[in-house]
Amino acid sequence: MAALTKENVIKALRHVDDPDIKKDLVTLNMIQDIEIEGNKLSFTVMLTTPACPLKEVIKNDCLKAIEEHVGADIEVSVNMSSHVTSTRDNAPLLPQVKNIIAIASGKGGVGKSTVTANLAVALARSGAKVGLIDADIYGPSIPTMFNCEHEQPSIRKEGERNLIIPIEQYGVKLISIGFLTPAENAVVWRGPMASSALKQFIGDTDWGELDYLLIDLPPGTGDIHLTLVQTVPVTGVVLVTTPQKVALADAQKGLTMFMQPQINVPILGIVENMAYFTPEELPDNKYYIFGKDGGKNLAEKHKVPYLGQIPLVQSIREAGDIGYPAVMQDSVTANAFKSLSQQVAQQVAIRNAQLAETKRVELKV
């Protein structure tokens, strides 16, 4: 056993690795505020995200390390806090936004907006500062899913600039074309108009400080996608697919787009949505309406993380239609979405520890 000193505590905690980043907490600068008073020790573990799924594991590892390498009779209090990491500190656009995460799918109707809405609410509930851009100009679903279809954002003057103030709902800052045009009207625009709306949502919106800015992309691999990667470096992409062949084919196109060398945005992982249908009165029956494990196989093929599956449950769709995301309810699905949000936050932290900032795409198209 060693004496209870700051040095020995640090030495002991060098034995605790962050299980994702696979370096020890001291090297990672995650140990702060060590205080010793007689037999009492307290310190803070600064996690890379409040949505860290391994919070308890890390805390227990710290307690064990102190017990083993300093002493068993110490009264230890571990304060778990977080500071979301970023590679965007010197970004010219949105420098206060730590991570920009695009949610893409290739194919429409696979539940991209449902996943994005639930991801945003889950991250906000974990304590993170979250924004959401609904980049589906032709079919904005986010206002409905957040039950704020009739809200209209106000404008704030900042010098010569007009900044849109996002709508805040369930702790998430939101912007969507749905707030700016009547719901029944079609937005019949060619690509450049749609692209300039996205640019405004990124550059002319008063986002303030955010840990995660999620971007709900439209289907396809066209104007909006190109404009996004040319406007702002994207931290990573979450790809949503259903297990059916025609959806996987389009998801693969989405993957190929972001992975191609000129674009080169890291893939945070693949979510398999509508993985199976379960009738509420027959919870043991799983119907693989759209096929089985398609998302998992795609992730394996491209060696990207598989973030898990979300079942097709009537209550998820109903939750979206009434504007109260499923993750806010007390159910199996709420847990599935909560777990998904932890997986995504974890992948962002791993990406930030391993890779440099994404480069803004310069290609002229």
Task: State the pairing for strand pair 40-47/130-134.
Answer: unpaired
Task: State the pairing for strand pair 167-169/306-309.
Answer: unpaired
Stretch that binds its own copies, among 50-58, 121-129, 153-161, 245-253 (CB under 8 A): 245-253
Least Cβ distance, residue 45 to its own copies (angstroms): 41
| Contact pick of 73, 89, 160, 184 for its own copies (by CB under 8 A) | 184
Query: Closer CB to its own copies, residue 44 or residue 147?
Result: 147
| Contact pick of 154, 260, 335, 354 for its own copies (by CB under 8 A) | 260
Least Cβ distance, residue 212 to its own copies (angstroms): 23
Which residues between 93 and 112 bind its own copies (CB under 8 A)?
106-110
The C-alpha atoms of residue 230 and residue 186 are separated, in whole angstroms, by: 26
| Contact pick of 27, 256, 335, 354 for its own copies (by CB under 8 A) | 256
| Contact pick of 189, 292, 353, 360 for its own copies (by CB under 8 A) | 189
Number of alpha carbons in the 13 Å side-chain half-sphere of residue 60: 5
Which residues between 120 and 179 bind its own copies (CB under 8 A)?
137-139, 141, 144-145
Ordered strands of the 172-176 beta sheet: 167-169, 172-176, 130-134, 210-216, 97-104, 236-241, 267-272, 306-309
Stretch that binds its own copies, among 67-75, 165-173, 310-318, 341-349 (CB under 8 A): 310-318
Phi, psi of 164 (to 5 degrees): -75, 130
Q: Find all residues with CB under 8 Å of 323, minimum gap 6, and list them.
A: 144, 145, 146, 147, 148, 149
Q: Does 188 bind its own copies (CB under 8 A)?
A: yes
Q: Does 223 bind its own copies (CB under 8 A)?
A: yes
131's enclosing H/E stretch is strand 130-134
Q: What is the dihedral of CA 96, 320, 219, 243, to 10 degrees?
A: 110
The C-alpha atoms of residue 78 and residue 136 are separated, in whole angstroms, by: 43
As beta bridge partners, residue 42 has 35, 77
Query: Was 106 annotated as part of a binding site?
Result: yes
Query: Closer CB to its own copies, residue 61 or residue 223?
Result: 223
Stretch that binds its own copies, among 2-10, 86-94, 219-227, 338-346 (CB under 8 A): 219-227
45's enclosing H/E stretch is strand 40-47
| Contact pick of 34, 36, 180, 226 for its own copies (by CB under 8 A) | 226
Phi, psi of 42 (to 5 degrees): -135, 145
Tokens describing residue 226: 């190109």
Query: Closer CB to its own copies, residue 13 or residue 194?
Result: 194
Instruction: List residues binding its own copies (CB under 8 A).
Output: 106-110, 113, 137-139, 141, 144-145, 183-192, 194, 218-223, 225-226, 242, 244-247, 249-250, 252-254, 256-257, 260, 263, 277, 279, 285, 287-291, 312, 314, 317-318, 320-321, 365
